[in-house]
Amino acid sequence: MIKSMTGYGKGRLVSRVGTITVEMRSLNHKYFDIVSRLPNHLSIFDDKVRDYVKKKIRRGRINLFVTWESKEKAQSLFSLDLHLARRYHHELLKLKRELKLKDDLGLSQIISLPEVITYEQKKEKTAQLWPFLKKAIERALYKLDQMRQAEGKRLLRDLLKRLRRIRYYLGNIESQLPKAIEKYRKELFRKLRSFSGIKKPNHDRVAEEVALFVRNSDVSEEVTRIKSHLKAFRTALRNQKEAGKELDFIAQELFREANTIGAKASDFRISRWVIKIKSQIEKMREQLQNVE
């Protein structure tokens, strides 16, 4: 069944590494696109996150936000290299004596030197967080998918309703076609009698004109194609895979056939039904902008 591209999902995981929260918002988009915002310590997973989400969502713009509250204390996040600090201090004092400098050498100057203080949040340690982050993403995706399915059901009901209306309007066009031909034949007789004064115009000539009218205004092929497109549209609606692009293409074909019928129609009643059909197709295409 079709899904909407719009939804929201939130996943929260409390574990031994802390609390990871994932929020996902999806919007309609022609292709798949994801914008992820991960904490600095989790940024190494950006590509993994993108690939994982792409396996679950085929189309739409995804905004993904991750927050992580670590259980580790602040002092455990960095380490001090005392040996390196002593070497810096020794060499700097030596330089001070050589240059006969009077400036004081303080703590702030030493700890600001490269590699004296390093953060322990190494990549190899951070890599262990992926299973926890993945689990939080799974929970957010599940809730997002539930919302997209619910919205998809609403879209499905609306689209099926419009298909029924189009089928009804198309039936009216089919029933009106013979009436339009008979109306043209009678109108042709009336005009010939009026202009020529002949009470009984040449039936063969009238038959030829009527046949020409029928040939020029014949929309049976277009009607048949519309019926076929309506059937294909219904089938695509039940497709478990991405259906939005296929449905939009079928809707374009429906509109094209309806336009052709409108161009050929010489009866205002048929033109009226064509306008109603095109109106329904336009509304369908608006809805399809949000179908995955």
Residue 199 to residues 187, 190, 202, 206, 208, Cα–Cα distance (Å):
14, 9, 10, 13, 18
Residue 85 banded pLDDT, cuts 50, 70, 90: confident
CATH architecture assignment, domain 7-73+124-147: 2-Layer Sandwich (3.30)
- Can you give the residue ranges of every domain in the chain? 7-73+124-147, 82-115, 151-288
The CA-based angle 115-118-122, given to 5 degrees, is 125
Q: Whole-prediction pTM value?
A: 0.68
User: How confident is the model over 16-65, as pLDDT tens digits?
Assistant: 888 999 999 999 998 899 999 998 878 889 999 999 999 999 889 999 99
User: How confident is the model over 207-233, as pLDDT tens digits?
Assistant: 565 555 555 556 778 889 999 999 999
pLDDT at 189: 55
Q: Please give the structure tokens belonging to residue 111.
A: 């700890």
Residue 124 banded pLDDT, cuts 50, 70, 90: very low
pLDDT at 107: 79
User: How confident is the model over 142-169, as pLDDT tens digits?
Assistant: 999 999 999 999 999 999 999 999 999 9
